[in-house]
Amino acid sequence: MRFLYTFFVVFSVLFFSLSANKASAWGFFGHKLINRTAVFLMPPEMIGFYKTHIQFLTENSVNPDRRRYAVEGEAPRHYIDIDHYGADAIYTMPRKWKDAVAKYTEDTLKAYGIVPWHIEVMTDRLTRAFRNKDVKQILLYSADLGHYIGDGNVPLHTTSNYNGQMSGQYGIHGFWESRLPELYSNEYDFFFEKGAEYEPDVLGRAWNAVTVAHLALDSVFRFERELTERMGDDQKFTFETRGRITVKAYSEPFSRAYHTMLGGQVERQMRSTIKMVADLWFTAWVNAGKPDLDALIEKRLSEEERKAIEEEMEDWQKNRKFKSREDDQFEGNLPDKYKNYGYLPNFQWEGIAGINLKNRMKSLKRELCKYPIAPPVVLCAQMQPLKSPVVPAKADTQYDTIILGIYRRVNILSEVARTCELRA
């Protein structure tokens, strides 16, 4: 038991440190870039305050993703599978929440995502925070609002085929929203002619964003398919070493070609996201009666407030009670060709379609030998549902291994210990 614990600690450190900057929807990288850039579009009355807290707004731009598994009802706030309601639903879905509930019921709406409505909810909350001159809430809600706006502008957040799982394009989600921006956003133009502008119709703006994103899906899928046919899987994927792990990733030539075919789509979506974040921050402030933010600059977060926020985040990481999309992805029916790979969910978020099992086993074995653990136990990421964490079928005798499922759950250890017999 003790050695199991040792190895778990080793691996939790290894995996969690590697996965710390990975997530879905614009990736952690994209969300941070969006919130950060939006600060510079704020008007003179706001920019002092926002710049003072730019680091906080950047770092906390991914809180909604962090709490997806810990907070009930969080998951559907990040997307809307609008095509679930029919091919033309993007035009026919009632824009107002009450009307939509009347047509489809609240349960259904919550099951298929509510991002446009939640953008309005968050704008209202931010307005209230401004009215109350509550620095902590202003900051947290500004960061959150930026996140949901970001998600609502991502084409793959507006479809039930959100990861290409229905069209044989598995992995496209993270490819579009994480890998492409990470590779090419340094080439994007983030100069804006206009600063933040007042938005009289927040909900209408949210729906407009979702509609534009949804209509972009056609090229998102079509170009990937065309390019895959042209380049073949050999050129499409590459193996990269990330930290100590070899992962299968979309190759640079494939990424570049796809990015070019999209004709600036990722940049366009990112730009309109940034402008919308700035506009809605500004709108909330105006609706709150334009409180004097310069007077709040001195009211920095107290040490206790900071600590409380950090502790809450830790709780989100620990208490993963609810399912979210990324879990679902790994329980679905995957194409056969992926079944030879071990999957690491956190990497999947980044658009990496798989991990070469053999390579991983080798590198993990090498890693394990550095620790006083015998026999070598190789931990392998698996796509098995949480109900059955142990996957003996994949044991590779060559390496005298037992393959265990690893999940992002911190409490995996007890699950594994209960269900697994370690071979001596």
CB nearer to Zn ion: pick between 157 and 236? 157
Q: Rounded to the nearest whole angstrom, what is the least distance from the CB of residue 252 to Zn ion in the complex? A: 26
Report how far residue 200's alpha carbon sits from residue 388's, in angstroms, rounded to the nearest whole number.
51
Task: Indicate left, alpha or beta for 221 from its phi (over 0: left) and psi (-120 to 50: alpha).
Answer: alpha
- For Zn ion, which is the closer residue by CB, 114 or 227? 114
Give 73 or 263: the residue with its C-beta nearer to Zn ion.
Answer: 73
Query: Binder to Zn ion among 78, 173, 214, 275 (CB under 5 A)?
Result: 78
From 7, 15, 22, 25, residue interacting with Zn ion (rule: CB under 5 A) = 25
Least separation in angstroms between residue 317's CB and Zn ion is: 16
Least distance to Zn ion, CB of residue 50, Å: 22
Q: How many CA atoms lie within 13 A of 46 on its CB side?
A: 29
- Closer CB to Zn ion, 30 or 354, in the complex: 30
Per-residue binding letters, 27-66, with Zn ion (x by CB under 5 A):
--------------------------------------x-
Q: Which of residues 138-167 bind Zn ion (CB under 5 A)?
A: 151
Does residue 326 bind Zn ion (CB under 5 A)?
A: no
Tell the smallest beta-carbon distance from residue 158 to Zn ion (Å): 13
CB 243 within 8 A of CB 184: no
CA proximity to 149, closest of 281, 51, 262: 281
Largest Cα–Cα distance of the chain, in whole Å?
Answer: 70
Residues 249 and 359 sit within 8 Å (Cβ to Cβ): no
C-alpha to C-alpha distance for 269 and 264, rounded to whole angstroms: 9
Closest among 149, 89, 153, 72 to 100, alpha carbons compared: 89
Least distance (Å) from Zn ion to the CB of residue 62?
8
Q: Give least dist CB 345 to Zn ion, A.
A: 15
Cis peptide before 375 (omega within 30 of 0): yes
Chain residues binding Zn ion by CB under 5 A are 25, 65, 78, 151
